[in-house]
Amino acid sequence: MMAQATPDQVDALLLFFCGALVVLAAFGLALFAGGMAGRARAARSFRFVLVGAAIVVVLAVLGGYGMVAGRPLLPSMVGRPDPGLASVVGIHPAASSPYPAARAGYLIAVLVLCTAIAAVGVASRLTVRAWIVLLVLWLPLVLVPVGYGVFALNDGWAVAGLHVVDFGGALPVVAAGASAVGILIACGRSEHLPLRPARPSLVAIGGAALWVGWLGLVVGSEGALDAYAPQIAIGAFLASATGVLMWMLVDAVLLRRPTLTSALCGAFAGLVAMTAASGVLTLGWAMLLGALSALACATMVDLATRARFGPALTLCVVAIVGGLVGLLFPGLFATGGGMVDSGNFDLFIAQGIAGMGVLLYSTTVSLLLALAVRFTVGLTRVRSVAHGAAAEMQPSRSEVVRARGR
């Protein structure tokens, strides 16, 4: 007769499953962003995400996880390194609860996803060597302090200090998107090459994986299979659904042609907005949040497109704007603490300070790090615009074969 699973084991299974979905979202992000610029860009984005994921996992096991969610080293800012995940695995893993290790795996997956957001934003500009050097510097200086503020529940500067509501890690998501913008500013605009036509198949596959994987992030943010988990899952579905409809409506009004990309971007915008507030919103507020996030993101993406930093910046803008909207929204409508229920703006002010502080800090530090790398090991690919344009105009091998067959 099989022993009945304990609540800790059930919750650990949920976190392991949601962590796997979060990793799926990271690679779906690479295919989605790369597919908007052609097959070659998709392969490059996938490589940058894979390299970033490998570095994050290795550094997390070597001690980085403790710096994000361990005992305080610098109070409210960073935790003590935890080599080998010793504090969560234990001396006798078979005799200990699986929940701490499952939570560690889930949080490491979240860090992988945040790194992927930055990776797809800069993949078309950086060399792999520059990305590795920059990532090793960026993780402890940007992602670790921001992540500690959210995931160190008893000491973090955001959750424990400012009493910010951020269930799933919207602040690290905003930090990743803002960091990509800072790095792109250091790269400049003059070296961008003409784009190949988008690959709808890659966009569809990547967008679907991103959608499903981000649902895992939102549901896993609860950390337990309790009475709130179903409401969080349904709320995330509603926010993504209204995000799809709103973005397509904006495209229909402005461009007269809603596209697959606009629908998937709308779903992404709704899910990013739900990342912070998934546990404190009713289903009606979740629907409104998804619509408002998609409307704000679509507007800002239209403005960012004119800066001509490339289509990958679209997802970075969605991560920033959607994350900020999702942070501010519970300050008004959160159950119990929002302005509508409590009658004061304390939570709204705390959410705004945290969001804007992370945005400015991440952009500034990433810009300075990118400039330092640019003037030492080099930052961008050395390739002239004329040569790049000629290379983009050359037919691929499959096109040559098809032409010969005709």
Tell me the mean pLDDT in the region 42-64.
Answer: 94
Residue 9: what pLDDT? 87
Tell me the mean pLDDT in the region 182-186.
Answer: 91
Tell me the mean pLDDT in the region 49-73.
Answer: 95
316 near 301, Cβ under 8 Å?
no
Residues in the chain: 406
d(CA 77, CA 72) in angstroms, rounded, equals 8
CB atoms within 10 A of CB 212: 13
Reported as half-sphere exposure (CB side, CA atoms, 13 A), residue 338 has a value of 18
Residue 93: what pLDDT? 60
d(CA 333, CA 286) in angstroms, rounded, equals 10
Tell me the mean pLDDT in the region 205-228.
Answer: 92
Query: Average pLDDT, whole number, for the chain?
Result: 86
Answer whether residue 390 shows pLDDT above 50: no
pLDDT in tens, 241-267: 999 999 999 988 876 678 888 899 999
Quote the percentage of the chain above a pLDDT of 90.
62
**5 φ, ψ (degrees, to nearest 5):** -65, 140
Range name among 73-77, 140-144, 308-312, 382-386 with the lowest pLDDT average: 382-386
322 near 289, Cβ under 8 Å?
no
- Which is higher by pLDDT, 56 or 9? 56
Residue 89: what pLDDT? 77
pLDDT in tens, 326-356: 999 999 998 888 888 877 889 999 999 999 9
Range name among 161-170, 327-336, 391-400 with the lowest pLDDT average: 391-400
Residue 83: what pLDDT? 92
Residue 365: what pLDDT? 97
Residues forming a β-bridge with 72: 79
Answer whether residue 196 shows pLDDT above 90: no
Tell me the DSSP string of 237-296. HHHHHHHHHHHHHHHHHHTS---HHHHHHHHHHHHHHHHHHTTS--HHHHHHHHHHHHHH
Residue type, 198: A
Rg (CA), the chain: 21
In the DSSP assignment, the letter for residue 93 is G
14 near 225, Cβ under 8 Å?
yes
In the DSSP assignment, the letter for residue 96 is S
Label residue 383 by pLDDT band (50, 70, 90): very low
Tell me the mean pLDDT in the region 224-243.
Answer: 91
Answer whether residue 110 shows pLDDT above 90: yes
Query: pTM here?
Result: 0.89
Structure tokens at 253: 């009004």
Tell me the mean pLDDT in the region 158-184.
Answer: 94
Q: Which residues contact 285 (CB under 8 A, 6 or more apart)?
A: 329, 333
Q: Which residues contact 138 (CB under 8 A, 6 or more apart)?
A: 118, 179, 365, 366, 369
Tell me the mean pLDDT in the region 296-320.
Answer: 81
Which residue, among 113, 115, 120, 125, has the nearest Cα to 185 in the 3D structure?
Answer: 125
d(CA 302, CA 277) in angstroms, rounded, equals 26
Residue 395: what pLDDT? 42
Answer whether residue 197 shows pLDDT above 70: no
Label residue 192 by pLDDT band (50, 70, 90): very low
Range name among 70-74, 92-96, 336-340 with the lowest pLDDT average: 92-96
120-129, 266-275, 342-351: range with highest mean pLDDT: 266-275
Residue 378: what pLDDT? 87
Range name among 27-31, 189-193, 284-288, 376-380 with the lowest pLDDT average: 189-193
d(CA 345, CA 351) in angstroms, rounded, equals 10
d(CA 349, CA 328) in angstroms, rounded, equals 8
**97 φ, ψ (degrees, to nearest 5):** -70, 140
- What is the separation, in whole angstroms, between the first and last Cα of the chain? 67
d(CA 200, CA 344) in angstroms, rounded, equals 47
